[in-house]
């Protein structure tokens, strides 16, 4: 407890995720905390914010949290900043931090913060996307390099990689693919006011609301608080092994697919148009970890392969098989020239068509 009491944590982004992390850190003994957020409580905040109530609409989020923290702990030192973190003045808001929590919605600012902390050896924990998710069993903690299936995590990871940061940042994320939801529309009257972008508080910050199931941000925030408390106490949490194991499976599936495509073309292929995350998405989330062939058993030796040779290798044209089924597919479709639906039947073809539609919807959401 003494080690935890000495800790100083900076929470950047005090919405659904950041507010829950802050509350539990202080309840658990943190004595110094800085809250950073430019935003104000709105009606849409009330289903997920840890401290805001109806009377707080229009109040800075950091002030709502500060009020509650003072009611919880008399000794806690709270520095509530109604401000936005910018890399140009990054050191001021992060000064003295043992840990920084990134709970920022805007991807540009998020990446800037993570890069700044990485370059200045400041420990930072980042929250990925809790919106459009509903399955609490899919929430994971891992290094940024191990994330999979999360569109925000993928974008953050790729942007960081371009700046030379490939690992070393713990994150909380969900392996659940985004639900079939979109940003909630603005009222027609808002469009009549002019350029929608001008309605935002800052450039690049969204002005529409992404549907969020209230408990999910709190789960993300509690994961963050638990991880940091254990780190401060000298009892760190190791990377979850199931995620690492799944990544190895995805690597094997990808290499097998690459080998099959090389045999088809008779050429060496350095890189496929889909990556390891895509292969895992096909096997785990589209195929539910089962063969496409009835009775849709769980493969003892899974394979992801191209369905129709006449169609390019895209996600919609990839299916999962048991190894023996994949070999039959090669013999009869690749080498024998038969149509896949003639080999496997109309039922399998219908399943693949439905799953292709799922993939298109997921791609539209990500884009």
Judgement on whether residues 235 and 118 belong to the same structural domain of the protein: yes
Two structure tokens written together for 344: 């496997």
Whether 65 and 214 map to the same domain: the answer is: yes
Q: Work out the percent of the chain whose per-residue pLDDT is above 70.
A: 87
pLDDT of 259: 95
β-sheet bridge partners, residue 79: 34
Q: How far is CA 88 from CA 72, 159, 169, 202, 219, in A?
A: 34, 19, 21, 16, 32
Task: Let me know whether 106 and 247 are in one domain.
Answer: no
Write down the pLDDT at residue 198. 40
Q: Which residues pair with 77 in a beta bridge?
A: 32
Final residue belonging to a domain, choices 224, 239, 254: 239
Share of the chain above pLDDT 90, in %: 59
Of residues 65 and 152, more confidence is placed in 65
Q: Alpha-carbon distance 281 to 148, whole Å?
A: 8
Per-residue pLDDT band for 14 (boundaries 50, 70, 90) equals: very high
pLDDT tens digits along 241-282: 556 567 788 899 999 999 999 998 889 999 999 988 889 888
**pLDDT value at residue 194:** 47
Q: What is the model's pLDDT at position 185? A: 57
Which tens digits make up the pLDDT trace of 34-85? 999 999 999 888 989 999 999 999 999 999 999 999 999 989 999 999 999 9
Final residue before a domain boundary, out of 211, 239, 267: 239
Per-residue pLDDT at 234 exceeds 60: yes
* Domain's final residue, options 207, 239, 271: 239
- Asked whether the predicted pLDDT for residue 240 surpasses 80, the reply is no
- Residue 155: pLDDT band by 50, 70, 90 thresholds? confident
Q: How many residues are present in the chain? A: 367
Spatial distance between the Cα atoms of 260 and 334, rounded to a whole number of angstroms: 10
Cα–Cα dist 122/195, whole Å:
39
State the residue range of the domain holding 90. Answer: 2-239
> Residue 265 carries which DSSP code?
H
* 62 and 128 both lie in a single domain: yes
Q: Convert the pLDDT of each residue in 349-360 to its tens digit.
A: 999 999 998 888
108 and 227 in a common domain: yes
| pLDDT (average), residues 311-321 | 94
Q: What is the CATH number of the domain that holds 144?
A: 3.40.50.720
Residue among 214, 234, 124, 113 at smallest CA distance from 168? 124
Opening angle at CA 21, ends 15 and 25, nearest 5 = 140
Residue-wise DSSP of 169-192: -EEEEE-SPPPS--PPPPPHHHHT
107 and 62 within one domain: yes
Relative to beta strand 8-12, strand 139-143 is unpaired
What confidence score (pLDDT) does residue 182 get?
58
- Please indicate whether residue 19 or residue 195 has the higher confidence score (pLDDT): 19
Task: For 176-214, write each residue's pLDDT tens digit.
Answer: 876 665 555 555 554 454 444 443 444 444 444 567 888
> Does 302 lie in the same domain as 204?
no
Question: Model pTM?
Answer: 0.70
* 197 or 222, greater pLDDT: 222
Is 254 in the same domain as 307?
yes
Does residue 247 share a domain with residue 146?
no
8-state DSSP, 40? B
Top pLDDT among 237 and 101 is at: 101
Under 8 Å between Cβ of 255 and 247? no
Q: Are residues 204 and 294 in the same domain?
A: no
Interacting residues of 190 by C-beta distance below 8 A, sequence separation 6+: 196, 199
Say whether the peptide bond before residue 228 is cis (omega within 30 degrees of 0).
no
The reply to whether 259 and 116 lie within a common domain is: no
Residue with the larger pLDDT of the pair 366 and 332: 332
pLDDT tens digits for range 114-149: 999 999 999 999 999 888 788 898 898 989 888 877
Q: Which residues contact 196 (CB under 8 A, 6 or more apart)?
A: 186, 190, 207
Is pLDDT larger for residue 366 or for residue 237?
237
Domain count, the chain: 2
Q: How far apart are CA 255 and CA 65, in angstroms?
A: 49
* Same domain, yes or no: 70 and 219: yes
What pLDDT shows up at residue 199?
A: 38
């Amino acid at each position: 407890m003494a080690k935890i009491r000495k800790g100083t944590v900076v929470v950047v982004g005090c919405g659904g995720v950041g507010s829950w992390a802050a509350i539990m850190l202080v309840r658990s003994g943190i004595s110094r905390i800085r809250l950073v957020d430019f935003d104000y409580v709105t009606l849409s905040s009330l289903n997920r914010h840890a401290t805001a109530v109806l009377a707080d609409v229009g109040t800075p989020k950091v002030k709502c949290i500060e009020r509650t923290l003072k009611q919880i702990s008399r000794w806690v030192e709270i520095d509530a900043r109604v401000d936005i973190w910018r890399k140009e003045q990054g050191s001021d808001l992060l000064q003295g931090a043992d840990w920084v929590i990134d709970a920022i919605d805007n991807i540009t600012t998020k990446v800037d913060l993570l890069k700044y902390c990485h370059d200045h050896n400041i420990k930072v924990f980042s929250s990925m996307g809790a919106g459009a998710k509903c399955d609490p069993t899919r929430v994971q903690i891992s290094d940024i390099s191990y994330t999979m299936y999360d569109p925000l995590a993928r974008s953050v990871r790729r942007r960081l990689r371009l700046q030379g940061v490939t690992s070393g940042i713990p994150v909380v994320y969900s392996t659940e693919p985004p639900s079939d939801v979109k940003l909630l529309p603005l009222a027609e009257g808002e469009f009549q006011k002019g350029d929608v972008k001008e309605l935002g508080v800052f450039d690049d910050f969204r002005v529409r609301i992404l549907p969020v199931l209230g408990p999910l941000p709190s789960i993300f925030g509690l994961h963050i608080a638990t991880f940091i408390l254990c780190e401060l106490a000298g009892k760190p949490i190791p990377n979850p092994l199931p995620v690492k194991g799944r990544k190895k499976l995805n690597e094997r599936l990808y290499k097998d697919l690459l080998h099959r495509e090389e045999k088809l073309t008779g050429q060496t292929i350095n890189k496929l148009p889909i990556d390891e995350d895509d292969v895992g998405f096909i096997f785990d989330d589209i195929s539910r970890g089962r063969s496409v062939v009835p009775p849709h058993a769980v493969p003892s030796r899974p394979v992801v392969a191209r369905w129709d040779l006449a169609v390019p290798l895209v996600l919609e044209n990839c299916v999962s098989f048991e190894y023996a089924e994949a070999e039959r597919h090669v013999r009869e479709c690749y080498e024998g020239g038969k149509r896949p639906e003639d080999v496997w039947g109309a039922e399998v073809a219908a399943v693949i068509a439905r799953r292709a539609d799922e993939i298109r919807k997921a791609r539209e959401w990500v884009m």
